[in-house]
Structure 1
Amino acid sequence: MNTTIRRRVGVHTAVAAGGVIMLGPLVLMLAGTFLVGNPLNGDLTPHLTLDHVRDAWAALDWPRVYGTSVLVTGAIFLAQVVTSLPVAYALARWDFRGRRLTFKLVLICLVIPVQVTGIPIYFLLSGLGLLDGYLALILPSVGSGFCIYLFRQFILAIPVSLFDAARLDGVGPVAMLWRVVLPHVRPALVAAGVFSVVSHWNDLYWPSVVLTTDRAATVPYAVAGVSGPESTVPLNVQLAIAALAALPLLVCFLLIQRHLVRGLVLTADGE
């Protein structure tokens, strides 16, 4: 066996091992959801049942919880696009003093944990009387250094001739974003949307900080209230609740996975 074959075998083995590790919890969740018995001690029986799913659906007000998460994640992503796209366009195509410094500051924002800025943001929202509401969940995530970086990389791949031709036609900066930039960054919008929606749909930290009631409970916040080692909800029902929580994201990913891969590939090819 030559070196190339050994390297390929090693790479495929590592990828397969990683896949098993990542799929293990998913298999356990599905087994506990649709089979009878405790999946932790191995006494599952090969009898399919939907009783756990029905009990999980009855345990939470899923239409309201789903609606809140869709509203919050959708509003966050829309606000991120509106605020990040003009900044990315300026950093990619405008020549102004401090452009490199500004881009470096954007990169620094990517490595600052949300917990670092959580305390001052909490006190700011508290002073404005916005705690325990939708705005408390949405406003802190409006600015996104990741979206700025992603959109900038995509805009760099747009030929300069398109911008020059648009300027000759009298297109202004705002129209340039709408008529030239936006049509060419749609794959980046899909990629950024996936990362943004998944991140904020699964976020439990920030809702736990700013929410005190279930009035604006998101999916993770609601699930955390009925799950855990001290919960009286049976384990199989907890696993079914977890499956219902992950179902919308799984469906969305299956629908847009081709666009997501294309967006990531084109972004990696940016200058």
Structure 2
Amino acid sequence: MVDRLGPLFRHAVLLLGAAVMLAPFVLMLSLSVKPAAEIFAPQFRLLPEQWSAWENYSAAFTKVPLARFLMNGFIVTFCIFAAQAVTALPMAYALAKLRWRGRDTVFGLVLLALLVPPQVPAIPLYIGLWQLGLLDTYAAIILPSTVSVFGIFLMRQFFRTVPNDLIAAARMDGLSELGIVWRIMLPTAAPALAAFGCLSFIWNWNEFFWPYIAVQSEHLMTPPLGIAFFSDTESGTSWGPLMAAATVTTAPLALAFLLAQRAFVRGVTMSGVK
């Protein structure tokens, strides 16, 4: 009897946690298909009596250039991840497989950098980009995130699991250290890179603080900034279109995780980050 109660209790806790996590998304979907009268009705209904999905979702794309915001989100997140991968792989390889004086100290600084909030260097970064004339450009959003401390840490943990004999064999074949990184370590680290790519996509897609500071032009704004257009303290917030826009901008995140979930779990577990 006790053996049966244990799994039942664990599954009950997991189901409760899943319900708590999914409740905001269910509410978001429910509000996105309701007319304004039902959104503010005293009695809550999960499904609307009168469907306004077409009106809300069409307003989400016509009231603001939501399609442009989505395209900006894809451009920014792809460029940031590409830059992070190019920088993180050789840095992680140097910390994991090369022997040089001060390696452990540098890795300690990497761990220390994980504790620094992104708001701390915001003012120096803003001033530097202003002096370079890069504010209000894609570069203003992308450049501060080109080096990911977490990406270096994650890839370094994965590289430590790669046998040294494989690297020694590559050196005997005449490969340089950079050749080993791109021709040996990169294919081997595909699961960890996929896990990091999923996290990088989620973080940078949802980033609001830095893009809000770095750009002012509407055609450069990312999805989180675009959603803010639906909030108006004077005329009132359009909750139906707002929830529709939030649903549209959240869908790529859910789709990306569903497509990469196996590689994500494998990459995280193999890198030792549990």
Aligned to 2:32: 33
- Could you give the per-residue CA deviations for residues 228-267 of structure 1, whole angstroms, max 9, x where no partner exists? 6556452111111111111222222222222212211211
Partner of 1:254: 258
Residue in structure 1 matching 2:145, options 141, 144, 154: 141
Q: Which runs of 5+ in 1 are unaligned?
A: none
Distance 2:94 2:184 in 1: 14
2:15 is aligned to 16
Kindly indicate whether the alpha-carbon contact (under 8 Å) linking 2:73 and 2:205 is maintained by their aligned counterparts in 1.
yes
Q: Is the 8 A contact 1:33 1:52 kept in 2?
A: yes
CA RMSD of aligned residues (A): 2.1
Q: Once the two structures are superposed, what CA deviation does each residue of 1:197-233 show, in whole Å capped at 9, x if it has no partner?
A: 1101001111112222313101101111223655645
> CA 1:113–1:125 in structure 2 vs 1: closer, same or farther (change >3 Å)?
same
Opposite residue 127 of structure 2, the aligned amino acid is F
Q: CA deviation at 1:19?
A: 1.6
- The AA in structure 2 aligned to 1:113 is P
Q: Which amino acid aligns with 2:87?
A: T
1:186 maps to a residue whose letter is A
Pairs within 5 Å for 1:43-122 = 43-44=44-45, 45-48=48-51, 49-122=53-126
Determine if the alignment matches structure 1 residue 224 to structure 2 residue 228. Answer: yes
Q: TM-score, normalised by structure 2?
A: 0.90
What does residue 270 of structure 2 align with? 266
Q: Is residue 2:189 matched to residue 1:185?
A: yes
The 2-side partners of 1:13 and 1:26 are apart by: 20
Contact 2:191 2:267 in 1 (8 A): yes
Instruction: Evaluate the alpha carbon distance shift between residue 123 and residue 72 of structure 1 in structure 2; reply closer, same or farther with a 3 A threshold.
Output: same
The number of residues matched between the two structures is 269
CA shift for structure 1 position 12: 3.4
TM-score, length basis structure 1: 0.91
Aligned partners of 2:230 and 2:241 also within 8 Å:
no
Letter in 2 for 1:31: S
> C-alpha deviations, 1:59-113, integer Å up to 9, x for none?
2212321111111111111000111110100000000000000111111111110
Structure 2: 5+ residue runs without aligned partners? none
